[in-house]
């Protein structure tokens, strides 16, 4: 009798990961490959994307560069995909800026990649039927704008709250094809993104102490959740948000 009971396997699944050239998306791509998936990875920076590609377990993975803030590049990306059993949409950026300095231009810039591009990619994957029956779509959302409302993160938080809302409509409408749509809402995760904000290294270390689990998250904390949501272990889970936040939302 086999001793390899594994409800979380991704064996035989083709998974698209955006934002795979860095941070959370990169870790998710690597860990999904270790779980047996075939990966289609996307990012803007070709060198860092290829670094991820070279770290994937197994053979036959594909890297496709695209700037997803450009709608024609989203179309082009979808046209290069034959079919997927899952997608993790991790491409995104931060912004730390008080409301009074959040001009429409700045808002557009952040909404473009965090919300509009993610929504458009989901729309095209569904409409073109590239997202196959039973596919699982996982959006890397945030606690920002949902359980965490901190000064200076209004625009970023609003993009993430919009995604959270949008995901539930998709979950409802896509259920007819048994396609599931869920969000992961991470707290602060150790990636390059958090070091590009306005907090100093000392302030980040101090902030991490507020977390009940005693530390910021690691990319693998998020990828373990993504594996669950991509796998058949979560086949009765849709329209939900998985908070991976070291307890900070309690
Ligand atoms: N780190 C955190 O604390 C945290 C917490 C909650 C949620 N999140 C969310 O997690 C996601 C990933 O963030 P991260 O922490 O992994 O940050 P990261 O290390 O900076 O990675 C961001 C990724 O998004 C890609 N990206 C950005 N703009 C893009 C564009 N216009 N077109 C295509 N790809 C683009 C980047 O590609 P290139 O590098 O190739 O340009 C990179 O692969 C984001 O959506 C972020 O909001 C992060």
Half-sphere exposure of 67 (CA within 13 A, CB side): 4
| CA 21 to centroid of ligand 1, rounded, Å | 9
Q: What is the pLDDT of residue 68?
A: 98
Looking at the DSSP bridge assignments, the partners of residue 86 are 15, 136
Question: Does the active-site annotation cover 156?
Answer: yes
Q: What is the pLDDT of residue 3?
A: 74
Ligand 1: which of 18, 20, 21, 22 to mutate, judged by most atoms within 8 Å of the beta carbon? 22
| CA 151 to centroid of ligand 1, rounded, Å | 21
With contact defined as beta carbons under 8 Å apart, do 34 and 11 qualify? no
Say how far apart CA 234 and CA 63 lie, in whole Å. 27
Query: pLDDT digits over 189-246, tens only?
Result: 999 999 998 899 999 999 999 999 999 999 999 999 999 999 999 999 999 999 999 9
With contact defined as beta carbons under 8 Å apart, do 207 and 188 qualify? yes
Largest CA distance in the chain: 65
Average model confidence (pLDDT) for the chain?
97
Q: Is pLDDT of 1 > 80?
A: no
Looking from the CA of residue 92, the nearest atom of ligand 1 is 45
Helical residues (DSSP H) of the chain, grouped into ranges: 23-34, 46-54, 71-79, 104-111, 117-127, 154-174, 201-208, 219-230
Q: What is the pLDDT of residue 197?
A: 85
Q: Which two tokens stand for residue 78?
A: 């979808």
| CA 41 to centroid of ligand 1, rounded, Å | 13
Confidence of residue 115 (pLDDT cuts 50, 70, 90): very high
If one counts every other C-beta atom within 10 angstroms of the C-beta of residue 2, the result is 5
Region 8-33 average pLDDT: 98
Percent of the chain at pLDDT exceeding 90: 97
User: Does pTM surpass 0.75?
Assistant: yes
């Amino acid at each position: 009798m086999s001793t390899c009971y594994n409800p979380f396997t991704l064996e035989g699944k083709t998974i698209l990961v955006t934002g795979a050239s860095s941070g959370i998306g990169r870790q998710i791509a690597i860990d999904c490959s270790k779980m047996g998936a075939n990966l289609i990875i996307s990012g803007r920076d070709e060198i860092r994307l290829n670094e991820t590609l070279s770290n994937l377990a197994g053979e036959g993975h594909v890297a496709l560069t695209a700037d997803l803030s450009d709608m024609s590049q989203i179309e082009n990306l979808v046209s290069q995909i034959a079919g997927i059993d899952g997608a993790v949409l991790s491409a995104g950026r931060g912004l730390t800026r008080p409301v009074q300095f959040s001009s429409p231009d700045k808002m557009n810039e952040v909404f473009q990649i965090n919300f509009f591009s993610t929504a458009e990619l989901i729309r095209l994957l569904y409409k073109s039927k590239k997202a196959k029956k039973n596919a699982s779509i996982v959006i890397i959302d945030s606690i920002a704008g949902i359980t965490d409302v901190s000064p200076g993160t209004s625009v970023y938080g609003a993009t993430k709250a919009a995604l959270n809302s949008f995901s539930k409509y998709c979950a409802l409408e896509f259920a007819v094809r048994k396609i599931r749509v869920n969000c992961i809402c991470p707290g602060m995760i150790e990636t390059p993104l958090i070091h590009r904000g306005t907090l100093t290294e000392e302030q980040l270390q101090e902030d991490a102490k507020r977390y009940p689990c005693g530390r910021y998250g690691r990319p693998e904390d998020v990828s373990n959740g993504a594996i669950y949501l991509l796998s058949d272990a979560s086949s009765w889970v849709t329209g939900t948000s998985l908070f991976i936040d070291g307890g900070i939302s309690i």
